[in-house]
Amino acid sequence: MHDEAGTWRGRRVLVTGADGFLGSHLVERLLSRGACVAALVRPSSLTSAAVGIAGHALRNLGGVQRDLARVIAADVASSDAQAQIVAFEPERILHLAADAYVDRSFDHPGEVLRSNLDGTLRVLEAARRCLRLERVVVTSSSEIYGDAQTPAIAEDHPLMPTSPYAASKLAADRLAYAYHRTHGLPVAIIRPFNTFGPRHPYDVIPRFVARALRGEPLLVHGSGEQSRDFCYVDDMVRAFLAVGEHPAAIGQAVNFGTGVATTIVELARRVVALCRSSSPIEHDPPRRAEVARLCCDHGLATRLFGWRPTVSLDEGLARTIAWARECSAR
């Protein structure tokens, strides 16, 4: 795989959604590579503690906050965010900010669309005005594909979103590509499959782990035979670095995942076993608009960047469980 270290050192990099689960891991890695990082975060990410930049502490980046070049607390879909992105004069923009709760999109579709589509529009418009810009990476989602029609999903799979959230991400994905074609903007689109690891506050794995550690029932929606491709956060951070620095990424939309689909009921069994828990597995009604199967074909990522997953599901779960135990002991 292409060596990222030298290509990030000294680069001015702006990360949106920087204090989120994946964004915070990515920011830490960028700082370790010597990048000059500005973090765009939601105002709600700031606490009242008088720590670090602007007199506020970030939830997930407190340990490295003093190393950040700038913290921008703004709604990514606002004109203020757009202006502050331009003012930082980034060379690379990694756009992760999103309203990522699928269930929220059922009852608040307008708010989700605003965050995910209007927010991406603001970032792209800012990028057009950044004179030093080398790359803007836009984060899409595996949810844009809908139910897998092939054993593994490649980039040419039909795009059939089943939820308003997935539709909003597809709209942002295609808008980013249109800006590349219309304005010659150096856009690269990353399509992550289900990512998990420490700091993940929602979704099935953190929910299962929390319940198993408390000895509570693990609630599986429907039959549990629906399956997902779970990729550990360290591997996905490597994916972002590759898309953010490799010349071959410009103009591409690239899938990243393990190529292994695990049913939700099997995931529940693994979490119970790894937690050494006595939690029973119970079934709830099916979720609305749930995709039956997602499994990644990462062949293009391997061909372009030499990227392959390195952390197995069990190893990633073990690391996540250890982190959760440590958090609960504090």
Which domains occur in the chain, in start order? 5-329 (3.40.50.720)
- Classified as helix, coil or strand, 223 is coil
Question: Which two structure tokens, joined as six digits, stand for 208?
Answer: 């299962």
Q: Is 312 left (phi over 0), alpha (psi -120 to 50) or beta?
A: beta
Report CA-CA distances (Å) from 51 to 20, 29, 61, 64, 239: 19, 21, 11, 11, 31
Q: Which of 101, 145, 165, 179 is catalytic?
A: 165
Those residues whose C-beta lies under 8 Å from the C-beta of residue 42, and which sit 6 or more positions away, are: 19, 73, 75, 76, 97
Angle between helices 233-245 and 21-32 (to 10 degrees): 60
Question: Among 102, 111, 121, which residue's Cα sits nearest to residue 16?
Answer: 121
| Beta carbons of 221 and 287 less than 8 angstroms apart | yes
Digit-by-digit pLDDT tens for the chain (330 residues) are: 444 557 999 999 999 999 999 999 999 999 999 999 999 999 876 654 333 444 568 989 999 999 999 999 999 999 999 999 999 999 999 999 999 888 899 999 999 999 999 999 999 999 999 999 999 999 999 999 999 999 999 999 999 999 999 999 999 999 999 999 999 999 999 999 999 999 998 899 999 999 999 999 999 999 999 999 999 999 999 999 999 999 999 999 999 999 999 999 999 999 999 999 999 999 999 998 899 999 999 999 999 999 999 999 999 999 999 999 999 887
Separation between Cα atoms, residue 223 and residue 255, nearest integer Å: 27
What pLDDT score does 72 carry? 96
223 CB burial (10 A radius; 0-12, 13-18, 19+) = exposed
| Beta carbons of 265 and 220 less than 8 angstroms apart | yes
Beta bridge mates, 12: 36
* Active site (annotated) includes residue 202: no
